[in-house]
A and B are shown apart, each in its own frame.
Chain A
Amino acid sequence: MLLGLLAEGDKHGYELKRAHDRRLPRARPLAFGQVYATLGRLERDGLVAPAGQDRDAGPDRTAYTLTPAGRDALAAWLAEVEPPMPYVASTLFAKVVVALLVADTGHVRSYLVAQRRAHTDRLRELTAVKTDPSASLDDVVAADYAIAHLDADLRWLHTTLERVADWHREVHS
């Protein structure tokens, strides 16, 4: 990600942090310490280098530039297909499964109702962000990503409940 931001142009550490937080408004803000640690690692690996004259200044005064190796690494990263990672590791999944297994109907129901409401409220907030006429393309793309995942969670939640209801009906008919 930092390599991508440097590809736009040379930046100081604090500029990188700002660019990251602006580009990915729904992501967790980057800590300064994290930025400098990552820059240090990238410099050691020869992917970035201090730019311009002030190479002897402290890390917070140094602007960094992408090296040719850094450009290659960025291109390789962009070309690499991500493993299609289903979110089965999520706590939501674990909770619903466990709730269906162990809890009595009243508890399962109130948990699911509350969870569904939380998801729906968040979905509505994100939809408002994205349909705001002043929303930037970055805002919309980031909101879309989150919306798509919340939507998937909700669909799965409903399908699961329908399955359980169907299954129950079959067994008891």
Chain B
Amino acid sequence: MTELQARGVVKAYGPTPALRGITLDVAEGEIVAVTGPSGCGKSTLLHCLAGILRPDAGQVFWRGERIDTWSEAARSKLRRTEFGVLFQFGQLVPELTVAENVALPLLLAGTGRRAGRTVATAWLARLGVADLADARPGELSGGQQQRCALARTLVTEPRVIFADEPTGALDTLAGEQVLTQLVRLAREQRTSVVLVTHEPRIAGYADREVVLRDGAVDGAGLGLDLPAAAGSGLGLRATGAPAGEALANAAPAGGAPAGERPAGGAR
């Protein structure tokens, strides 16, 4: 089943176009990495899919229902109940204990304080951080904070998790542990995940990768447009030269400004 769909989603910030018509399907239980260079529109797309931002044009569907036209209140409820978000910085409330932070989404959904705490500590235990329940976020390492934030994301058992550079602020091992747990639990619950990252290593955790370039899906998957006639653009051989010969010419020619060389060749 298709969990989430974007159809021709367009979004601009004033005169700055951020998305130029994105079409994308995420199946139930599928983990999709959204990658591409900085500024290509990854976060904007995630916000449009999660109902945080309203697209200027195009449609967003969740389980076949069009959600981008819903009122702010209805989208906000959807985000609290069916969606979960995880950002680069966990954004735990510093005044609350970890368990209170994790229980917060449940309290907002009307669960009682006691029941909320029970569920929250169970999730903390699943993520191997049960001992942190009564700590304040400020006392924790970045990796521990992000695990607690992950517990808070999972506590409502969302159907879709939106994660925007969730390991961006962590060292390699801590980031990997958070991601391994996110992926393991998502697979167990058949939760779909939209994972925004600019790191190839992190995209390796997904089933599929969607590469964006300048606000559009890049079918070729490079995330970059190569300038027309790259070869000749470098002031070297335009086409057809045998590779060995070109490599022999490469060292002296590589550093020279192209404009000063005849278009045809390097010698």
B159-182 contacts to A (CB < 8 Å): 180
Q: Please determine whether A100 and B227 come into contact, CB atoms closer than 8 angstroms.
A: no
- A interface footprint on B210-241 (CB within 8 Å = 1, 0 otherwise): 00000000001111111111110110111111
B36 to chain A, nearest CB (A): 10
Residues in B with CB closer than 8 Å to A165 are: 224-227
How many angstroms from the CA of A133 to the CA of B185 in the assembled complex? 12
Q: Please determine whether B257 and A116 come into contact, CB atoms closer than 8 angstroms.
A: no
- B interface footprint on A108-128 (CB within 8 Å = 1, 0 otherwise): 110011001101100110110
> Is A98 part of the contact surface with B, judged by Cβ < 8 Å?
yes
Interface of A is mostly: helix
How many angstroms from the CA of A97 to the CA of B244 in the assembled complex? 11
> Is A44 part of the contact surface with B, judged by Cβ < 8 Å?
no
Q: Please determine whether B224 and A101 come into contact, CB atoms closer than 8 angstroms.
A: no
In the complex, residue of chain B having the shortest beta-carbon distance to the beta carbon of A148:
B201
Residues in B with CB closer than 8 Å to A117 are: 221
Q: Please determine whether A151 and B183 come into contact, CB atoms closer than 8 angstroms.
A: no
Residues in A with CB closer than 8 Å to B222 are: 109, 112-113, 116, 161
Given A127-B205, A158-B37, A171-B258: A105 and B200 interface contact (C-beta under 8 Å): no
> Is A28 part of the contact surface with B, judged by Cβ < 8 Å?
no
Q: List 20 A-B contacts (CB under 8 A).
A: A97-B247, A98-B243, A101-B234, A101-B250, A102-B239, A102-B240, A102-B243, A104-B230, A104-B239, A116-B222, A119-B200, A120-B203, A124-B204, A147-B201, A151-B201, A155-B200, A158-B223, A165-B224, A168-B227, A171-B258
Looking at B239, B240, B242, B259, which has the most chain A CB atoms within 10 Å of its CB? B239
> Is A35 part of the contact surface with B, judged by Cβ < 8 Å?
no
Looking at A131, A167, A169, which has the most chain B CB atoms within 10 Å of its CB? A131
Which 3 pairs from chain A and chain B are nearest by CB?
Answer: A168-B227, A127-B204, A154-B200
Residues in A with CB closer than 8 Å to B52 are: none
Q: Please determine whether B230 and A164 come into contact, CB atoms closer than 8 angstroms.
A: yes
A156-173 contacts to B (CB < 8 Å): 158, 161-162, 164-165, 167-169, 171-172
> Is A94 part of the contact surface with B, judged by Cβ < 8 Å?
yes
Q: Please determine whether B201 and A161 come into contact, CB atoms closer than 8 angstroms.
A: no
A residues whose Cβ falls under 8 Å from a Cβ of B: 94, 97-98, 100-105, 108-109, 112-113, 116-117, 119-120, 123-124, 126-127, 131, 133, 147-148, 150-151, 154-155, 158, 161-162, 164-165, 167-169, 171-172
Residues in A with CB closer than 8 Å to B7 are: none
How many angstroms from the CA of A103 to the CA of B241 in the assembled complex? 8
How many angstroms from the CA of A117 to the CA of B220 in the assembled complex? 9
- Categorize the interface residue count of chain B: 35 or more
How many angstroms from the CA of A150 to the CA of B199 in the assembled complex? 11
Looking at B201, B238, B247, which has the most chain A CB atoms within 10 Å of its CB? B201
Residues in B with CB closer than 8 Å to A154 are: 200
Q: Please determine whether B247 and A126 come into contact, CB atoms closer than 8 angstroms.
A: no
How many angstroms from the CA of A133 to the CA of B220 in the assembled complex? 33
How many angstroms from the CA of A126 to the CA of B204 in the assembled complex? 8
Q: Please determine whether A103 and B239 come into contact, CB atoms closer than 8 angstroms.
A: yes
A100 interface neighbour in B37, B225, B231, Cβ under 8 Å? B231
A118 to chain B, nearest CB (A): 12
> Is B100 part of the contact surface with A, judged by Cβ < 8 Å?
no
Given A97-B250, A109-B222, A117-B221: A123 and B243 interface contact (C-beta under 8 Å): no
Given A123-B200, A131-B184, A171-B259: A104 and B231 interface contact (C-beta under 8 Å): yes
Given A97-B250, A123-B201: A103 and B226 interface contact (C-beta under 8 Å): no
In the complex, residue of chain A having the shortest beta-carbon distance to the beta carbon of B240:
A102
Given A112-B222, A120-B209: A100 and B204 interface contact (C-beta under 8 Å): no
Q: Please determine whether B220 and A113 come into contact, CB atoms closer than 8 angstroms.
A: yes
